[in-house]
A and B are shown apart, each in its own frame.
Chain A
């Protein structure tokens, strides 16, 4: 275990609006990081800065002690993969066609994926128990299935760092837990570091090793999940009142007070 990514005093402006300010943290290999924050707090912008899609105005990002500003796109793509939130193709590619595109950083300019690359793509789908999707039209499957396909594409990219933008957004109740368990397993077995933006604090409590709380483009709290996921911190982050509702093992889970009140009203 060591530090694989360092983010130092990161700042990002979109036009005149400051989206991120003075964001610093370190990512250790093999751990699951959850980024929590309200809508519009700058979570996605932060992810896009981490793999160089957006260039920060201030600060730096280092992957294995190398500043990504000095790395080529291809070099970055071999270290960091991204699973975007929602994606609709223009052309009716098959799911396998989309998954195999994750091999791009390992192909030369004029190369096309080999049979081996297709085999890896199929394996990635199998890992996610979705090999039946391989020949389906990517545009005609559900949002959740698309998310699984994009995750498979990130898997064949075999990077040390995986960025997930709200990975459970379109997934059903069971698939949410199945997918996150799978991702957590990858952290442990492959030593992949996962950085995921999330909306549900309880999901972060279940799966994340570390939590980074972002508010108005700044980090308010970061640290070990069990230490930072307290009523006070969650209340500050979402500007609401929450209560600890139940405990599994040594983990507390939370609901907003308004939800508890509404549920009591029904009785």
Chain B
């Protein structure tokens, strides 16, 4: 049960977002900008950074929903199972996963941000540059990882409800990937309990 009385039937962050619409607006806008805004990093790469950070923070709702969004960004629905396998591998050990050296270097930075900002070293940055990351891509990686250290704590710090099984997150991930984070359900509306989430 959640620590405070939240609107019923809304999973993860959507409960507290509906509880406090004033803060929901910038929280949704930030996710939309960072994960779906114009960027030289693909949305799949950005969702993978978010998923990995959420996994390191042990946030079930965020790592599963953003993992599903990443899987949808990575390819057509027939490839979904393979994409979920890849996401699980990245969460377990990204260095040995079949992804670009650049994404590995960015995930290394994100992992250090998750532990604490001061853990990011000049060598972490140099490695990302060697693999072709730009200053803006490094900036965005740091801010995506930092933002998920916020969202994860918001979701778990209020003990929000979330579905356990991955199947529940497949349609949710599709909406996050294709419709985005801004046009959510009306506050307190449980009509689409799985609707657009962060």
**A and B are partners in one complex rather than unrelated chains:** no
* Interface, chain A (partner B; CB < 8 A): none
